[in-house]
A and B are shown apart, each in its own frame.
Chain A
Amino acid sequence: MKQLDLARDVLDKQVVDRDGTKMGRVDGLVLELRGDGPPRVESIEMGFVVLARRVHPRLERWLEGLRRWSVRKTARYRVPWSKVKEVTAHHVQLDVEALKTPAFDWERWLRDHFVAKVPGED
């Protein structure tokens, strides 16, 4: 079993999808506490709200309040650890397609409502 330093090697790491497209960063980790045995990494979390909690709980609540105007359906995008293909020095690769995930909600929305609307885009 390979050793993995979660804080150093996983947290805040660049997340990429199957094709290597940048998706975001590992903003948080969800650990499952088990009665017998050590905690298990259940999933990685991505999202502004997750970051906010790391800074200050009040900031997290304030951001949650703004979610009415958010394009994202899910504040905390959780990816189960089973979907992690590999963890290298450069990134954490997930077995997903970026475009289909909530991590790309804003990217898609901006692309469709802003970039596409700019005249001259072919």
Chain B
Amino acid sequence: MKKWMQLALGIVTAIGGFFDMGTMATSAQAGASFRFQLLWTVGAGTLLVIFLVEMSGRFAAVSRKALPDAIREHFGFSFWLVPFVVLTLSQFLVLATEIGGICFALHLVTGLPIQLFALPVAALTWLFLWRATFSTIENSTSLLGLITLAFVVAAVLHHPPAGPVLAGFVPTLPHDNPLKYWAIAVSILGAVLSPYLFYFYSSGAVEDEWDRSYVGVNRAIAVLGMGFGSVISLAAIVVAAVVLAPRGIQVDDYHQAALMLTDAFPFWGFVLFAVSMAIACLGAAVEVSLAIAYSTAQTFGWNWGESLDPREDARFSTVYTGAILLASLPILLGVDPLKLTILAMAAEAAVLPFVALPFVLLMNDRKLLKEHANGWISNTVAVVVLLLSLVLMVVSIPLAFLGGGG
């Protein structure tokens, strides 16, 4: 019975977790600027992330260790140092972005300036982490996160033309504005192949005390959770394509995206957008702060665990406290949330090879994983991810500057 519960919750969590500021923003931009043409990017990214998440969960279930823990132990501190530093930097940028998302949502409903909400939102996020246990956090954010299904409902209500939508799943070259096209495509991949996601997932599996018997559950969560989650992103692209693109509206600012749901839901659309944004970003903010604390504590061997009382893991708790406080600074200082998001997505894409390589190497360690080590299918996908990540690393930051502004 427990396994079925875990499975259901895991799927719901993964669905809610897929959609965050990064996927929301990049989907809106993609739909508004290129209609259905970039649907394939979300599809391809999802396929790859399903494998990555499955590997991450399988690793934690079989070895009973989270990734940062295992990587330092297996490869040594000097090897792990660079990936650890860049992973932490990218996670920090993502955290700042998610906080920005919650602040923007509050700004939408109140009309008050975004900066005003930076510290209160940080305090709320922190309080949630300080008081709650891991399962409470996962369950509440995931269940509330289902409100993002509003995008799926809206997409269905719009009756998009089936032909162009299906055609969008086939990779095509852009007709015009190639720099912007590839900038958004790379951004989407950065948002979907989020490094914090599969690192966090392994720590979460250890928190939930998964063992070998969870390998099957893990596979289902990875496929169904990430799969269904991506549907929300795809729906957001469709909605933007049908509502914004025909009017000639591009998403250079989140205010433009906020109009997305008002065609399908004339009365509730505006509020649904704001609430979806707030909840999706709160869930993500909580997860990323934990991810930063997990990777730091595990790297240095400190006591860690969200379910522990902060008194028992003071260093772990201090790390997420400090991270949240620092991450609220960009928004507090007036950095534009959309620009921050674009930077964070580029950073995630750029960091991917550093964090994917040790992970993939570990997945082939037969001593650690025995018969659960990667087979040829997982390894083929892993190699694809690694090669793709190298390309992304090189192009993501230049494209962010050229495709975004130029």
Question: Are A and B close enough to touch in the complex, i.e. CB under 8 Å?
Answer: yes
- Number of B residues contacting the other chain (C-beta, 8 Å)? 23
In the complex, the answer to whether B314 meets A21 with C-beta atoms within 8 Å is no
In the complex, the answer to whether A12 meets B311 with C-beta atoms within 8 Å is no
Complex interface: chain A residues within 8 A of B318 (CB): 110, 114-115
Complex interface: chain B residues within 8 A of A111 (CB): 311, 314
In the complex, the answer to whether B303 meets A107 with C-beta atoms within 8 Å is yes
Q: Does B81 contact A (CB under 8 A)?
A: yes
Given contacts A14-B301, A111-B311, A115-B310, contact A27 B77 (CB under 8 A): yes
Q: Does A51 contact B (CB under 8 A)?
A: yes
Complex interface: chain A residues within 8 A of B78 (CB): 54-55
Complex interface: chain A residues within 8 A of B69 (CB): 14
Choose among B64, B65, B310, B315 the residue that contacts A106 (Cβ–Cβ < 8 A): B315
- Number of A residues contacting the other chain (C-beta, 8 Å)? 26
In the complex, the answer to whether B301 meets A115 with C-beta atoms within 8 Å is no
Given contacts A54-B78, A107-B303, contact A115 B72 (CB under 8 A): no
In the complex, the answer to whether A22 meets B77 with C-beta atoms within 8 Å is no
Which residue on B lies nearest to A14, using beta carbons? B301
How close is A101's CB to chain B, nearest CB, in angstroms?
Answer: 13
Choose among B130, B301, B314 the residue that contacts A22 (Cβ–Cβ < 8 A): B301
Contact with A along B285-325 (1 / 0, CB 8 A): 00000000000000011111000001101110110010000
Complex interface: chain A residues within 8 A of B81 (CB): 55
Question: Once the chains are docked, how many angstroms separate the CA of A22 from the CA of B313?
Answer: 10
Question: Once the chains are docked, how many angstroms separate the CA of A15 from the CA of B77?
Answer: 15
In the complex, the answer to whether B301 meets A110 with C-beta atoms within 8 Å is no
Binding site for B on A (CB under 8 A): 7, 11-15, 21-25, 27, 51, 54-55, 90, 106-108, 110-111, 114-116, 118, 121
Binding site for A on B (CB under 8 A): 64-65, 69, 72-73, 76-78, 81, 130, 300-304, 310-311, 313-315, 317-318, 321
- Besides the contacts A13-B73, A108-B314, A115-B311, what 11 more A-B pairs have beta carbons closer than 8 Å? A11-B76, A12-B77, A14-B301, A24-B300, A27-B77, A90-B65, A106-B315, A107-B303, A115-B317, A121-B310, A121-B311
